[in-house]
Structure 1
Amino acid sequence: MKLRVKIKRLNEDVELPRYANPGDSGFDLVAAEDTIIWPGETKVVPTGLAFEIPPGYELQVRPRSGMTRNTKLRVILGTVDSGFRGEVGVIVDNTERVVGPNMQAHVIERGTRIAQGVIAPVETAHFVEVDELSESERGSGGFGSTGVK
C-alpha cells in the first residue's frame, strides 16, 4: 500500500514530483523559477509546492548526485515536518571560489531537477535524564577518532 501525500501547486505550471524509476526512494524536486547564485552565496530555490505530510512522517530534502558531481552547487539537507504547510524550498550553496573579473554566477533554470525528496517515518524519543551513561567500546571518541582508512 502506498502512502497518500497531499500536494498543493502554488503555481499552476509547476511539475508535480515523480519517481524516475520503480523502487526509487527519492522523487525529484524541481525549481519553480530561475535562480541566480553567485560564488559564495546561499539561496533558497522555490519548488512551487506545498505538502501535507501525514503525521508520523517527514519529507527529507536531499542532494541529487548529478548536481553534486557536475557543479559546485551543494544542496543542504533539510527536513519538512508533518505540520508544515508552506512552500518547500531547497537551500543551495554555490561553493565556487572564483573571485574577481572571471567570477560567474550559476543559473538554476526553471524546471531543473535540483533535489530529491524522501518520505520517511519519524521515531520520536522519550528523553530520560540520568547521572551516568553506560560504558561502550567507543566511549566519547568522535570526529575521526576511529581513523580515516
Structure 2
Amino acid sequence: MDVSIVWWLLVTAGIALVIAEVFIGAFIVMWFGLGAVVAGLLTFFVPGLNAGIQLLLTALLGAVLLYFFRDRCIAGENASQESLHTFSRTTGEIHKAETGAMTVFANGTFWQIGNPEDIPEEKRKPGSTITVAEFRNNKAYVSNSD
C-alpha cells in the first residue's frame, strides 16, 4: 500500500514555511515552502503520488528555487560596504592592559598598539596622549613623529 500525503497538507505546510520566513528573515525557508506548495498542487492534479516522491519533489523544487532566485530577489543596494580604513588620524590616551601590553584608547575603544617601539620613551607612561596614524587589522599604529 502506497502512503501519500494529502495535497492540502503539503500546501498548508508550504504556506506555513513562507509565513515563518517573515520571522526568520534568512530568505531561505520561503523557497522550500514554495516547493511544498507546488508539490501539493501537483498532488492535487496527479493523485496517488508516493509520500517519498512528494517529499523529494518538495526538497528538489525548494533547492532549485533557492539556487536560481535567491540572489536575484535580494537587492544589492541593501547595505553599503564600509571601507576597512574607517578611522583616520586621531589622538588617543595610553593605557596598560591587564597583560602588561600598551593599549591606546581612541575612537571610543581600546586598541592594541601595533608599533609600540615607535612611541618615544617619555610618552610610554599611562595617561600620555599620542597620535594614532592609522588602524589596521584591529591594531592602532602610532605616528612616527610622536
Flag the structure with higher strand content.
Answer: 1
Higher RCO (C-alpha under 8 Å, 6+ residues apart) = 1
Q: TM-score, normalised by structure 2?
A: 0.22
Flag the structure with higher helix content.
Answer: 2
Q: TM-score, normalised by structure 1?
A: 0.22
